[in-house]
A and B are shown apart, each in its own frame.
Chain A
Amino acid sequence: ENADPQKTAFVLRKAWTLYSVTPLYRFRRSRLSEYARLLSAFIAAEKQKGLAVEVGVELDIKVALSSLADLRGSELDQAALLVQLSSRSRASSKNSEDKLVWSGWFCSMFGDDLSENVPENFTCLPLFLTHGAESYTSLVGSWFQKTFDCCFRRLAISPLNLSWMVAMWAGYKLERAASAVELVFSVPRLSQPLDISYAIHPEDAKALWDTVQKTPGEITQGEVDVFMDCLCAHFHRHFKIHLSAAKLVKVSTGIASAHCDGIVKILHSQHLPGVLMLLTELAISQIQ
């Protein structure tokens, strides 16, 4: 659990798009370099077919697959798998550096619910996070689907789950001055879309959560409801608007932020396992 901060630094401060992935069939950790070659060839072939990603510039895409033993919850979890696509322009000199154009990683953080019920030959890495052009995501996704007979689905986050996240993250202790706790609501059924952004001082939010939470380390749905009800009641008192009738679309705290379309950004390495555990749980419930 004590992950090397250098190895996990790539996760922080990037907006990751989330997917749930069904278990991979006949995936072998020992064959990573072979898989990298096959994926590289697949991408090159698709580009030949005309599914070019960047027009005008001739780019060779280099694929690297690596295992991240530190990114897992328990010994029962599979180590995370990182896929990186780099480009080197053919025109530039041999010594020029590769430029990272896309990264994606598969992970399982305390995903026992899924892995304990799965037959042999299947590897469980239910959460897939991507950063980079959508076109590369679909290329990589197609190759994995064909090769390991798995299925990718965008992981949407419901308002119910977003409120769970903001309550949990607002309650974490922060060492220094952190950014505000922000909730963004979208108001339905209007001729022009209206978004309401509600920002709360992080200390106030934590103070509120501390009065609500009864057992440290444990969170119940009831406590999350009380936390959210207090925030909505406060807003109603000032603006006479019922936020509970609007749709919660994004939550943002000093720890991490999450959007209902399934996009997260993690800012603090200290809480990375907690955030990943929650996301793994969401991915698993979407699969089952």
Chain B
Amino acid sequence: HLATSLPLPSERDHLRPRIDMVVFMIDIKSKYSLKNVETSLAHVDANFFLGKVCFLVTGVGRVNACSIETNAVCKLAEAYCSPVLFCELELEGIRAATAQRLLRMLQICAGHIPGVSALSFVSLMRSSNVD
């Protein structure tokens, strides 16, 4: 399900299936997209931040069109205990690989992979910070 911002319209609440994972997309060429994500984050229930939220930064192929500091995004992700993925949607190979990664993460968040839960993402992140 794709949305331009949160909260989702309440009229369709009863028709909506369970949400297993939220991916916030930030376009490195648009400061507006970062602001939009920042305001939308406030509408997400705290439970999602136990591994069910991920930030996806797009457009990283064009370094010269940067309107956002990647540092700022990393700090945001750290503050919300969630991983950041960087990708370039214009390149088919990277687009496909990123989609596969997200799908894998979704499978784990939805509980389809026995023995692995979304909480693993959180602990994986903590250990890389220590390094």
Question: Are A and B co-members of a single complex?
Answer: yes
Judge whether A244 and B30 touch: CB under 8 Å: yes
Judge whether A158 and B30 touch: CB under 8 Å: no
From DSSP, what is the main secondary structure of chain B's interface residues?
helix
In the complex, per-residue mask of A258-273: 1 if CB is within 8 Å of any chain B CB, else 0 = 0010000000000000
Closest to B27 in A: A245
Instruction: Give the CA-CA distance A121 to B69 in the complex, in Å.
Output: 36
In the complex, per-residue mask of A219-249: 1 if CB is within 8 Å of any chain B CB, else 0 = 0010000001000100000000010110110
Residue B35 at the A interface, CB < 8 A?
yes
B55 nearest CB across to chain A (Å): 18
When the two chains form the complex, which single residue of B32, B67, B72 contacts A158, counting CB atoms closer than 8 Å? Answer: B67
Judge whether A160 and B32 touch: CB under 8 Å: no
Instruction: Place the interface of chain A in its size category.
Output: 10 to 19
Closest to A248 in B: B67
Residue A274 at the B interface, CB < 8 A?
no
**Cβ–Cβ < 8 Å partners of A228 in chain B:** 31
Instruction: Give the CA-CA distance A260 to B62 in the complex, in Å.
Output: 13
**Cβ–Cβ < 8 Å partners of A245 in chain B:** 30-33
Judge whether A242 and B66 touch: CB under 8 Å: no
Instruction: Give the CA-CA distance A163 to B65 in the complex, in Å.
Output: 12
B71 nearest CB across to chain A (Å): 8
Instruction: Place the interface of chain B in its size category.
Output: 10 to 19
Residue A180 at the B interface, CB < 8 A?
no
Judge whether B32 and A159 touch: CB under 8 Å: no
**Most central of A156, A244, A248 by chain B CB within 10 Å:** A244
Residue A79 at the B interface, CB < 8 A?
no
Residue B19 at the A interface, CB < 8 A?
no
Judge whether A160 and B69 touch: CB under 8 Å: yes
Instruction: Give the CA-CA distance A244 to B28 in the complex, in Å.
Output: 11
Instruction: Give the CA-CA distance A247 to B33 in the complex, in Å.
Output: 12
Instruction: Give the CA-CA distance A51 to B109 in the complex, in Å.
Output: 63
Judge whether A247 and B65 touch: CB under 8 Å: yes
Judge whether A158 and B35 touch: CB under 8 Å: no
Judge whether B29 and A160 touch: CB under 8 Å: no
**Most central of A158, A188, A228, A247 by chain B CB within 10 Å:** A158
* B-facing residues in A136-185 (Cβ within 8 Å): 156-160, 163
Instruction: Give the CA-CA distance A239 to B31 in the complex, in Å.
Output: 18
**Cβ–Cβ < 8 Å partners of B66 in chain A:** 158-160
A64 nearest CB across to chain B (Å): 33
**Cβ–Cβ < 8 Å partners of A242 in chain B:** 32
Closest to B30 in A: A245
Instruction: Give the CA-CA distance A247 to B72 in the complex, in Å.
Output: 18
Instruction: Give the CA-CA distance A228 to B34 in the complex, in Å.
Output: 14
Closest to A249 in B: B65
**Cβ–Cβ < 8 Å partners of B63 in chain A:** 158
**Cβ–Cβ < 8 Å partners of A163 in chain B:** 67
Closest to B62 in A: A158
A286 nearest CB across to chain B (Å): 9
* B-facing residues in A57-72 (Cβ within 8 Å): none
* A-facing residues in B4-56 (Cβ within 8 Å): 29-33, 35
Instruction: Give the CA-CA distance A158 to B68 in the complex, in Å.
Output: 10
Residue B64 at the A interface, CB < 8 A?
yes
Instruction: Give the CA-CA distance A228 to B32 in the complex, in Å.
Output: 12
Chain B residues with CB under 8 Å of chain A are 29-33, 35, 63-69, 72
28 contacts between A and B (CB under 8 A): A156-B64, A157-B64, A158-B63, A158-B65, A158-B66, A158-B67, A159-B29, A159-B66, A159-B67, A160-B66, A160-B67, A160-B68, A160-B69, A163-B67, A188-B29, A221-B69, A232-B31, A244-B31, A244-B32, A244-B35, A244-B67, A245-B30, A245-B31, A245-B32, A245-B33, A247-B29, A247-B65, A247-B67
Given contacts A221-B72, A247-B67, 12 further A-B pairs with CB under 8 A are A158-B63, A158-B65, A158-B67, A159-B65, A159-B67, A160-B68, A242-B32, A244-B31, A245-B33, A247-B29, A247-B65, A260-B64
